[in-house]
Amino acid sequence: MLDRPSLLLDIGNSSIKYAWYTFPEEIADLRIFRTSLDSIEALLEQAANCWLCSVVNEETSLFIAALCGKAKIPFHQTRTQAVQFDISNAYAQPQNMGADRWMVILAGAALRDRGEQTNFIVIDAGTAITCDFVVANKHLGGWIAPGLSMARTAVVSQTKRVFDQGQLLDTLTLGNDTPICVAQGALAQLSGMLLQACNIMQSYCSKYELYISGGDARVLISTLAKSENNSACVNINYVENLVLIGLAKIAHQNMAKND
């Protein structure tokens, strides 16, 4: 059983992603796959154990736990902590913070340890976009906002004459008809969030790293790269899935302890 890898599961609001982790592999080298609830049982048959990060209902976690019981393998679910790996959480009630955000913060810390910077911003541009700030091992707080797709849907659904044709653009320009104005408006909101994040971080520290992942990460990076006024945002690192890297870090630590 021990020659089998750990199954790392990220259950988000709209999709499920997973990766295999074999101790003591490098945690930054994960290959990411998408799956569905129906396919998890088959994955567990090949796993030594399972690590879950979920932001959906408790029933789903109980379902995965039961599948692990059936496969006779250990089940672990990560929860947001007040302090973990020397990083302290700014929430007065850490349990209120989505476990995915905490994994993303721990992933930022793990990736940062390989470089020089101790300060970092982590952004997860998924269904919702979240942004969290860590300076000298202290999480200072963060933001939650609609993701690109949700922002576009929101403005269309709450107005009469605004419509969207779903164009995917990665250059910020000024729209001259309704659907382009919608596509550009959402892009301006989200890339503006990145710029504000960098501006605010500079008031805390002169050097920091920025890690960004999620379905909209690439579009946001190329939008900023093509903008003229992006000097605040430097050192942007794209990572396919920070949640799973955070989970790998915890799985790694747990196995190192029991080694």
Ligand X SMILES: CC(C)(CO)[C@@H](O)C(=O)NCCC(=O)O
Residues within the interface to ligand X (CB under 6 A): 12-13, 55, 96-98, 100-101, 126, 128, 130, 144
Q: Residue 77 or 149: which CB sits closer to ligand ATP?
A: 149
Q: What is the residue-wise DSSP string for 34-53? A: EE-GGGHHHHHTT-SEEEEE
Q: Which is nearer to ligand X, 25 or 240 (CB)?
A: 240
Shortest distance (Å) from residue 259 CB to ligand ATP:
31
14 binds, among ligand ATP, ligand X, K ion, none (CB under 5 to 8 A by kind): ligand ATP
Regarding 237 and contact with K ion (CB under 5 A), the answer is no
Judged by CB, which is closer to ligand ATP: 150, or 255? 150
**φ, ψ for residue 208 (rounded to 5)?**
-160, 170
Count of beta carbons in the 10 Å neighbourhood of residue 159: 11
Q: Report the DSSP pairing between strands 49-54 and 87-88.
A: unpaired
144 binds, among ligand X, K ion, ligand ATP, none (CB under 5 to 8 A by kind): ligand X
Q: Is 100 a catalytic residue?
A: yes
Residue 214 near ligand ATP by CB under 6 A: yes
**Residues taking part in catalysis:** 100
- Binding residues for ligand ATP, per CB under 6 A? 12-15, 126-127, 147-149, 214-216
